[in-house]
Structure 1
Amino acid sequence: MTVPSAGDLVDAVQAHVDTVLEHARDDYGDESTPLLVDALDATTLSGVEYDGRDVADGHLSNFALQQSFLRALLALSEVTGEKRYRSRAETLVSWMFENASDDTGLLYWGGHAAYDLDADDIVVGKSDHELKFEYPFYKFCYEVAPEATREFVSAFWNAHVLDWTTLDFNRHGAWNASMGDLWDHEYEGGNVFFWGDGLTFVNTGSDLYYAAGVLADLAEEDEPLTWAKRLARRYIETRQEPGISGYQFSQHASYCKGPEIRGDRAQYQFAPYIHGDHRIFEGTLFRPRPIVQRQQLALAERLGERGSAFAQWAMEELRAWREAAYHPDENEFVPMLTDGLSLEGFVIRREGYFGPKGRVIGPIEAGPDFLWTYARAYRVTGDDLCYATTRDIAAGLGLGDIGTPEERPTMDFDMDPVAVGPELLSALLELYRASGDDRYLNAASRIGGRLLDNRESGLFTDTDGMAVLDNPTPLALLRLASARKGDPLDTLPKPVGKRRSPNGGI
């Protein structure tokens, strides 16, 4: 395999982006907008009726799904010097804020809303506003429309937080909710695992505190950061002896098995069959999502000393995962309660949210997303245990032995990765930035070459042959190109990655 040059990488991404801008443009319905359809068929180069967030059928433009493409546009302008890509991105952001928000500034995007290009109108699916593991490109949005960005973050919190004294919130937020006191509310805190009115899942919770944390940096304000830390800390308060945080910090009377049984869904499916003194709620199941800790570390880097708590919490979490749950020989995490009780092999005996009757709980594969997060943690903090975990996961993923920081292999480590993707590439770039060792850059370049080989009609596609705009590959390759040229990576947008659940587990 030929290792691509920096120029090869940039040319490939530029061809992809130009093709998307040409063929994903809005030529549906009766009115034309600057919007782009969310996915293209790589064979026909036509728009696909693709619904990535449970909204509706049709040719949709869901701006929450296009944040990776937005970042790639900015990066391409940085790398090539061509302003047209940034200009296109500015147009998209401006149009969304001006035409696709409610009266409070809350955008119609994300989990249950999008713009229907066929109908030339906003379409709202089965529920209200929702962001889950999206982490939009607020820095650029603020550069284009600072007041609209501030209004969005304020409306996001206002719509989702149900009780500011405890920070009970729901993953769904009402449109056009009357604006309350926002950052001027009183906060009391109190015990976690209280019965609340919302589902305090970390997939939305981390999006909320990430938004407030970034706004605090961009606007140089303290109040949003205070609330961001309060919300992030609620998950820390769920930790039991091993130090693992819960996926949520409250309980909610959800449907356990149809409308006739309501309560905590984990308690319904697990508690009757587990003996001993264990707290069994949805918030005490070990459900690791490494994107959360990765974004906490990103906040810490952005905020500096003001954000040091985010780095501390991320490091505590990652170390606890390693010490309490990780098996390096199998490159797997043990599914468990957050008090350390293993649930591996547990047979679900009741139908419900966590699986059908008869499902056997299996181990959690330590995939490339975990590698990326541990590698970033090592780069940001220099933590030895995070490096040791990075080394073990790298070996488990077929990257060979990357050695220790003091004694790396004298030759390039052998590579036969079981999975090739932007997460693996991003992890290697983190290690390169941490060490300056060209072997990591060479390995990342080989991964980049594999990604170039997987294109169809010049487009980066998914396994279904679609070019979706939330594909993080183009941005990852532009960062690789910058590293190959010796340019600082901090000048380019920071990648987030696609939201996904780990294989196995609960």
Structure 2
Amino acid sequence: MKKYVTLFLMITLLVSIPNTIKAETSNVVYTDEDYDRLHAVINHVENILHYGHAYNEETKLLPDAINTLTGEPARWVFPNRAEVPYANLANQQNFFRTLVGLSKVTGSDKYELQAKEIVGYFMDNYQNPNGLFNWGGHRAINLDNLEVQSTEGPNGPHELKNMMPFYELMLEVDEEKTTRFMKQLWTAHFYWDSQNMNRHGSYSTAFDQNVFGAPIPEDVIKMDEQGNPIIPDDSPGLLPFVNSATDLAYAALTLSNHTGDPVPKQWAEYLMRQYNLASNPVTGMTVYQFKSTAVTKSAIECANPAYTNSGCGDRVARQFRDFGPIAREANVAWKNTQAVYVDNILMLLEAGDKYGMTEFVDWSRQYLEGYLDYAYIRVDGQNKIIPMFIDGTLTYGYVVPEVGYFGPSNMRLDYVAMPTSYLLPILRTIVQTKQEDSITLWNHLRDIMHAFGLGDIGPNGGLSPNLNLDTSIDDPFALMTMVELYDLTKNPQYLDSARTIGNNIVREKFHRGFFVDSEIMLYSRLDQPDTLALLSLDAVIRGIDLENMPFYLADSGYIHGYLLADDGVTEDRSYTQNVIYTKTIYDWE
């Protein structure tokens, strides 16, 4: 406890800025509460920079998360009990966006310069000769010895899944290294001869300057006589998960926009079109992957239902065979829905807005309308997802007969809670859709926001809401939604609601000088979206165009691999979000 008190005193004295900041281009009065929220963000940022850099002064890198009791980095504990403090820049993108956003609202370039310095150091020291960066789901930098550390065996692969790097900043820092990475991402992850895609990329794959030189092939997805998509089952374990496709497509689109070469953009459209072609023609819901796994393992291995690695055919077809042909991993609409209907759609909409991909906006509307029409339900006033396949076949109440990839035997499928993150893709789709075509989505948004305790946003257009201005919600996605509703309509009720939510976030989540998920949580994670949401609120109060602010796209960064289980004895294979970022101040010794 003595460490805790000392650290708290250092934090509270670290930053002191005068309350003289005024909104210069807005008719909105900048209040003391507005200043207090900004002051909390500044304190958090200054503490991250201070304690993050203090651990090892030989590097510019920051840890992925900071222990708010000691100021030390979070550590990955390997099965051999080696404790490694880690930095993984793929998992810090919202912090860099926060730094740039903070410079925009304060008028001080010091934070943006810090972001550029950190990113530049990383790119200079940790780009593999083939162009890939040493980051992502299975690699990090050991902050003790500054060497690349794998968590997935001795040579972990490259993996990005819905991480959406801050390419605008990276291109400013080093154009050559950034464009080399964006090209190599496709070289290492996409198999041009077979149209297979792998979430894992090899650091031994040679760089290909002409990676987009091959002619674009025919579509993978074909239709049967009834107009239903045929999902090929020929993937040798290299499944095209949509949460990897988002990063591939976003890189190719950014590359085309930066270089003026239209070909990478065409490849991005080709890749994302396969998911659209594989979507259900009746419901409009889309797929998690557009291929199924080929059988490559022996009959003996596949006789064991608990064997869930790729190689024994489609894992859902094995475990849910009672449902017939629709039972494919691609068609599940109750798992990985965040990847499909939130992160995927946010990328599609960003591409629609920035790069003129209007078909991406149409697809987003199709996916969300179908998903919400069929799978959304309110149960006891709570927003829920009904488990089903994408053709509308219900799996709710089904008792799984045997163990498999999707869970243990005798598991009963129940409603799944809908998180607040769904608000943003729904609203952003509405914003990019003609008002007369957005009625269905607006009505869904109206219902969902009411169930989240935000009040009634009113009829389509948002001109006559009846919001709950005393809401207790302290959620960054609710805050960003209210900010963007205000930006769309200029109705001050939305701004009043956003200020309430922002105040709630600071009150409930700003503790010991850092933003944390709740007061008792031990670690402050750099990729958390709360600070970026608070800065978007500060920007609209000042009259700063949101188009000029760093835009939230994802906070899906993670590290996955082998580590020591909580029992201190056995080996586990899990994620930082499940093992490290769940720890509370009461777990710390």
Task: Please say if 1:229 is aligned against 2:281.
Answer: no
**Which range moved further: 279-288 or 201-210?**
279-288
SS in 2 for 1:194: coil
SS in 2 for 1:204: helix
The equivalent position to 2:89 in structure 1, one of 55, 63, 67, is: 63
Residue type matched to 2:288 in 1?
Y
- The answer to whether residue 157 in structure 2 is matched with residue 128 in structure 1 is yes
CA apart distance, 1:328:
4.6
> CA, structure 1 residues 497+450, in 2 after alignment: closer, same or farther (shift >3 Å)?
farther
Identify the residue that residue 480 of structure 1 maps to in structure 2.
537
Gap change, CA 1:144 and 1:410, over 3 Å in 2: closer
Query: How far does the alpha carbon of each residue in 1:96-131 deviate from its partner, in whole angstroms, 9 at most, with x for none?
Result: 211111112100101001110112201122130000
Deviation at 1:407, TM superposition (A): 7.1
Which whole-Å CA distance do the structure 2 matches of 1:406 and 1:236 have between them? 28
Q: Kindly tell me: are residues 412 and 393 of structure 1, through their superposed partners in 2, closer, same or farther at Cα, counting changes over 3 Å?
A: closer
Instruction: Give the structure 2 partner of residue 144 of structure 1.
Output: 173
- 1:165: Cα distance to partner? 4.7
- 1:175 equivalenced with 2:222 (yes/no): no
RMSD of Structure 2 on Structure 1 (CA): 2.3
- Bigger Rg, structure 1 or 2: 2
CA offset at residue 414 of structure 1? 5.0
SS of the aligned residue for 2:160 comes to coil
3-state DSSP of counterpart to 1:58:
strand
Match of 2:183 in 1: 154
* 8 A contact 2:92–2:527 mirrored in 1: yes
Distance of aligned partners of 1:279 and 1:67 in 2 relative to their CA distance in 1, 3 Å threshold: same
Match of 1:33 among 59, 65, 68: 59
1:336-375 aligned at under 5 Å gives the runs: 336-375=388-427
Q: Which amino acid aligns with 1:195?
A: D
Residue among 90, 110, 119 paired with 1:84? 110
CA contact (8 A) 2:332 2:388 kept: yes
The one-letter code sitting in structure 2 at the alignment partner of 1:230 is Y
Q: Which residue of 2 aligns with 1:113?
A: 139
Contact preservation (8 Å) 2:197, 2:239: yes
For 1:402, which of 457, 467, 476 is the aligned residue? 457
Which one is further off, 14-23 or 404-413?
404-413
SS in 2 for 1:268: helix
Kept in 1, the 8 Å contact 2:101–2:535? The answer is yes
1:450 pairs with 2:489:
no
| Cα shift at 1:5 | 3.5
Q: In the alignment, which residue of structure 1 is the partner of 2:517?
A: 462
**CA-CA distance at 1:499 after TM superposition:** 2.6
Aligned pairs (5 A) from 1:151-300: 151-162=180-191, 164-180=192-208, 181-186=210-215, 187-191=217-221, 192-197=231-236, 198-240=238-280, 241-253=282-294, 257-258=306-307, 262-271=312-321, 273-274=322-323, 278-286=325-333, 287=335, 288-289=337-338, 290-300=342-352
Corresponding residue for residue 333 of structure 1: 385
Q: Tell me, what secondary structure is at the counterpart of 1:335?
A: coil
Residue pairs, 1:378-393, within 5 angstroms:
378-381=430-433, 382=435, 383-393=438-448
Greater shift in the superposed pair: 101-110 or 282-291: 282-291
Match of 2:358 in 1: 308
**CA distance change for structure 1 residues 351 and 4 in 2, over 3 Å: closer, same or farther?**
farther
Alignment: residue pair count: 487
Per-residue CA deviation, residues 305-334 of structure 1 (Å, 9 max, x unaligned), is xx1121111111111112222225653222
Letter in 2 for 1:140: L
For 1:492 and 1:406, locate their aligned partners in 2 and report how far apart those are by CA, in whole Å: 24
**Equivalent in the alignment of 2:547:** 490
Letter in 2 for 1:466: Y
One-letter code aligned to 2:284: G
SS of 2:326's partner is: coil
- 1:423 — aligned with what? 477
Give the letter aligned to residue 275 of structure 2. Y
For residues 447 and 383 of structure 2, the distance between their equivalents in structure 1, rounded to whole angstroms, comes to: 7
| Runs of 5+ consecutive residues of structure 2 not aligned to the other structure | 1-30, 222-230, 296-301, 559-589
Supply the AA of the counterpart residue of 2:293: H
| Separation in structure 2 between the aligned mates of residue 245 and residue 235 of structure 1, nearest angstrom | 6
Q: Tell me the residue number matched to 2:37.
A: 9
The answer for the alignment partner of 1:504 in structure 2 is none
Question: SS where residue 24 of structure 1 aligns?
Answer: helix
2:26 aligns with: none
- Partners of 2:270 and 2:461 lie apart in 1 by 39
* TM-superposed deviation, 1:363: 1.9
Taking structure 1 as the reference length, the TM-score comes to 0.91
Q: Kindly provide the amino acid, as one letter, of the partner of residue 102 in structure 1.
A: N
Q: Is the 8 A contact 1:68 1:470 kept in 2?
A: yes
Show structure 1 runs of 5+ residues with no match: 502-506
- 2:60, 2:482 → 1: CA distance? 36
Q: Report the residue type matching 1:22 in the other structure.
A: H
**Contact 1:368 / 1:424 at 8 angstroms: preserved in 2?**
yes
SS in 1 for 2:453: coil
Partner of 2:580: none
Distance 1:92 1:443, change over 3 A: same
- Cα distance, 1:26 vs. partner? 5.6
Q: In the superposition, relative to structure 1, how do residues 50 and 9 fare at CA in structure 2: closer, same or farther (>3 Å)?
A: farther
| 2:329 partner letter | E
Contact residue 79 and residue 478 of structure 1 kept, 8 A: yes
Amino acid at match of 1:110: G
Report the CA distance shift for 1:356/1:144 in structure 2 as closer, same or farther (over 3 A).
same
Rounded Cα–Cα distance in structure 1 between residues aligned with 2:269 and 2:345: 14
- State the match for 1:18 in structure 2: 46
SS of alignment partner, residue 195 of structure 1: coil
Q: For the Cα contact (< 8 Å) 2:90–2:557, is it kept in 1?
A: no
Q: For 1:114, what is the secondary structure of its paired residue?
A: strand
Whether the 8 Å contact between 1:166 and 1:188 is mirrored in structure 2 is no
Change (3 A) 1:185 1:4: farther
Residues 308 and 404, structure 2, Cα contact 8 Å, conserved in 1: no
